[in-house]
Amino acid sequence: MKDLKAIFFVKDIAGNSEYRKAPGVDALKRGPKVAVIFQDGEELSGATEAYNPQKLGFFVFPYDEGGNGLRVFGVNSNVRQVKVG
């Protein structure tokens, strides 16, 4: 698990490489708003029900409903920063 960045639960395994998030897309989700920056620089914004840096990881529910992601389990050892709120 220490080498795993995250587990992405997606709608479609093929995805859409041409999709771009529409500005201001912030659907209501459960839990506090978080902005996650992974060690490789990838950023993810959404909501989480239980962020705890002392645990193995946490789920993020992406705000962009038009994107391919349903939820993401971020592994804390490969997260650079989490901004809550």
Has this prediction a pTM greater than 0.85?
no
Instruction: Report the half-sphere exposure of 71 (CA within 13 A, side-chain side).
Output: 11
Domain 6-13+25-84 classification at class level: mainly beta
pLDDT of residue 46: 92
d(CA 36, CA 43): 6
In this predicted structure, the answer to whether residue 26 has a pLDDT above a threshold of 70 is no
6-10, strands of its sheet edge to edge: 6-10, 69-75, 57-62, 43-47, 33-38, 79-84
In this predicted structure, the answer to whether residue 18 has a pLDDT above a threshold of 60 is yes
First to last CA, the chain: 27
Give yes or no for a contact between 60 and 72, defined as CB atoms under 8 angstroms apart.
yes
